[in-house]
Amino acid sequence: MKSDHEFLSLADAYIRGEMNHQDATAFENRLLSDRESSEKFNEHKEFIARLTGYGKRIDLQQKLDNIHSTLDIPEIIKNAIPHKPLIVRLWDKYKINSLVAASVAILAVFTTLWITGFYSKENSSQYVALRRDMNSIRQNVKAQNALIKDINKNQSGNINPSHYGATGFALSSNGYVMTTYHVIKDADSVYLQNNVGNSYKVKVVFTDPAYDIAVLQIIDKDFKDFGSLPYTFKQNPADIGEDVYTIGFPREEAVYGRGYLSSNTGYSGDTVAYQVSIPVNPGNSGGPVLDNRGNIIGVINSKQTETDGAAFAIKSDYVLKAIAAIPEDSLEKKIVINKRNTLANLNRTEQIKKVQDFIYMIKVY
């Protein structure tokens, strides 16, 4: 034990450089010749190095603590951070309350606009649904007499002037007719009148307000059937620039309108409709839009007031989807869409002669 203590004392003196040259040389020779002494020296040297490093860290920590104790930390932070303008400091203080108040105000404004119908198409100053107000128009005498005759048969009382007029067209040969929903909405009764003045009572069998579509069925006992329809529905999208036409009842007789398909979307980018450049007026709503080959590509339902010739037509694809969605058990007869087009090889005048027999004036009471 004494020998170890003496060796470690020599090792400390050698490490600290306290030996003279002769003693240091003798100690180094001992380490070279004695493996055990060399290993002890290396272990002791590493221990001393670690101890010294630890002592230095403790000393540094004490110095830092002493310096920190003399510092005014709040004053340093205050001087180091730039001062915010008054408006910014007020915002930081009250921003939560301000944001909540602003959110409530915005919600109230948009809710009010929605409730009052600001965003609905029907209330837009640039978008007009095309049903015709009939209260100020003198009724067709032959149609009026037919209606009076029908009402007398049913002993239902006197006839009142119709409220709205529009257009419809035969959907299938067994008495189903297509028109627009906004025309027959809230109707007490609906009648059809053809181009020679014959009138038929109908009932509403299906409506789709989202697509503005309504399907009517003739329930008049005098009606037989339409016969074979000459036109078909186009199932593929129509192309911009296609020559198109429509026949409708903006007045008491059928009116032909010609134009072209000007956009693949309707009002405000509505993908359910086309925009067509055709002059239309109230009463045209529900009229078919046909291409050169006699395919129905859409159904007129509205126009843009501030753009000349900008009318909108519900795409035939959506019309067919709406028809396919009608529950079969809600129909007395099945709706069979015509697949054979007999107009394709006819000129426009001949097409119109055939088509107009299947287009009707809608009268809503």
Return the amino acid letter for 108: A
Alpha-carbon separation of residue 211 from 168, 181, 208, 226 (angstroms): 16, 8, 6, 26
Does 198 lie in the same domain as 277? yes
- C-alpha 1/C-alpha 21 separation (Å) is 27
76 located within any domain? no
Does 138 lie in the same domain as 113? no
Find the helix packing angle between 21-33 and 35-69, rounded to 10°: 120
Q: What is the CATH number of the domain that holds 142?
A: 2.40.10.120
77 located within any domain? no
10 located within any domain? yes
User: How do residues 321-345 score in pLDDT, each as one tens digit?
Assistant: 999 989 888 898 899 999 999 999 9
Does 115 lie in the same domain as 44? no
Token pair 């956009």 is found at 263
230 located within any domain? yes
For 38-52, b/e burial (b = at least 16 CB within 10 A) is: eebbeeeeeeeeeee
Q: What are phi and psi of 111, to 5 degrees?
A: -65, -40
Does 141 lie in the same domain as 106? no
Show the DSSP H helices in the chain as ranges: 2-15, 21-33, 35-69, 73-80, 86-115, 141-154, 181-184, 316-324, 348-355
Does 351 lie in the same domain as 271? yes
Task: Give me the number of domains the chain comprises.
Answer: 3
258 located within any domain? yes
- C-alpha 164/C-alpha 43 separation (Å) is 110
108 located within any domain? yes
Does 208 lie in the same domain as 104? no
83 located within any domain? no
Q: pLDDT digit of tens for each residue in the chain (365 aa)?
A: 557 778 888 888 888 888 898 888 988 888 888 888 888 888 888 888 888 888 888 888 888 877 877 777 676 666 666 556 666 666 666 666 666 566 656 665 555 555 544 445 544 557 677 676 655 444 444 444 444 344 444 434 444 555 778 999 999 999 999 999 999 988 889 999 988 888 999 999 999 999 999 999 999 888 888 999 999 999 889 999 999 999 999 988 899 999 999 999 998 889 999 999 999 988 999 999 999 999 999 999 998 877 777 899 999 999 999 999 898 888 988 999 999 999 999 999 999 999 999 999 999 98
Does 113 lie in the same domain as 48? no
Q: What range defines the domain where residue 28 resides?
A: 2-69
Does 230 lie in the same domain as 256? yes
